[in-house]
Amino acid sequence: MQDLRLIEQQLNSLHRFTRVPPFDATRLFMLPALTDLDHFRSLLLQAPTTDLAAQTAAADRNGQLTKPPGALARLEELAIWYGGWRGTDRPELKKPQVIVFAGNHGVTAQGVSAFPAEVTAQMVINFEHGGAAINQLAKLAGAKMDVLALELDRPTGDFTQGPAMDEADLLAGLQAGWNSVDPDADLLVVGEMGIGNTTPAAALAYALFGGEAADWTGRGTGVDDVGLANKTRVVAEGVALHQGGIKDGIDALARLGGREIAAMAGAIAAARQLRIPVILDGFICCAAAACLAQSADGALDHCVAGHQSAEGAHAALLSNLGKEPLLSLGLRLGEGSGAALAIQILKGAVACHSGMATFAEAGVSDG
């Protein structure tokens, strides 16, 4: 342990030169390191499931609370779901974590975004200084917020010319997300920043769920009609180039994704290992989640959808994932903002479930 603490001190001495959360050596004992992509696939297949006894007990408690049956509707379902994953019939939600991952994309050379790639790094600085919308929403929710920038000076490959990432790059992205989840957290939200990243998200959705490229390609941060046509062409060409080599969501992620999208997938998978429930954000986050869902049945059972964004294909993506959004406010910012706002909904569900008295405790007749 003394040697491990020395390593921790050495790594944290480098923290001021990087944009990653401080290293915590105790996390090495919580999750195994990812050795290769097949190892990651095996962990998805062997992931923990909900605690059925706790879920049943939470449902029983819900039936005894001082309210008409079903009066709190979906809040009741959320509290029971949350209790099952946290292993208790009377859960608390006190330590949410928000992580924003940032990455750059070689496909932006195709002119798919209304903004230059330099904005990614500029926004990372804004996150670090507390100036973005996600900072305000995370603070409001009482959430710890971390920002992780992933090799912004080395964009992924242009997926119309070849794979976006090789196995080493994909594994590094997955591992970055895997390592970033705080084992003490009781809820996770993952967000992203990456100029052009609605293009790989659209390509992933198209590759995984079919249809036409235009079905999945939207305006992102605001491209005009000419830009949208170009973006749709890029998505179609990329998927046509790689479709034959895509056997599951992990293959799709390597060929069409991005480092921040891989990191989101890694973090969502790590949360499952730690029995930490997840609120999914918008289109890009859900594309990352889809790569897990298309690699292992039930991989997103520990997730709920925070909101339906204004990106046109997000509704279809949520439908394919079997997720009903908690909110629909026309948001299209990303960053984890919609999911962070939805933390309040889940907190309300848990507070009512665990804080309300039962009929017996309150001395109220139940009928």
Catalytic residue list: 335
Q: What is the sign of the dihedral through the CA atoms of 205, 178, 275 and 335?
A: negative
Cα dist from 138 to 32, 106, 130, 188, whole Å: 28, 30, 10, 11
Question: What's the Rg (C-alpha) of the chain?
Answer: 21
Taking the C-alpha atoms of residue 292 and residue 278, their distance in angstroms, rounded to an integer, is: 13
Q: Is 128 exposed, middle or buried (0-12, 13-18, 19+ CB in 10 A)?
A: middle
3-state secondary structure of 52: helix
From the centroid of its chain, how far is CA 24? Answer: 21
Backbone angles phi and psi of 115, in degrees to 5: -125, 150
E-strand ranges in the chain read 96-102, 144-149, 187-193, 278-280, 303-305
351-365 burial code (b ≥16 CB/10 A, e <16): ebbbebeeeeeeeee
Backbone angles phi and psi of 303, in degrees to 5: -120, 145
Q: Left if phi > 0, otherwise alpha if psi is -120 to 50, otherwise beta: which for 305? A: beta
CB 295 within 8 A of CB 253: no
Supply the angle between the helices 249-256 and 283-293 in degrees, to the nearest 10: 140
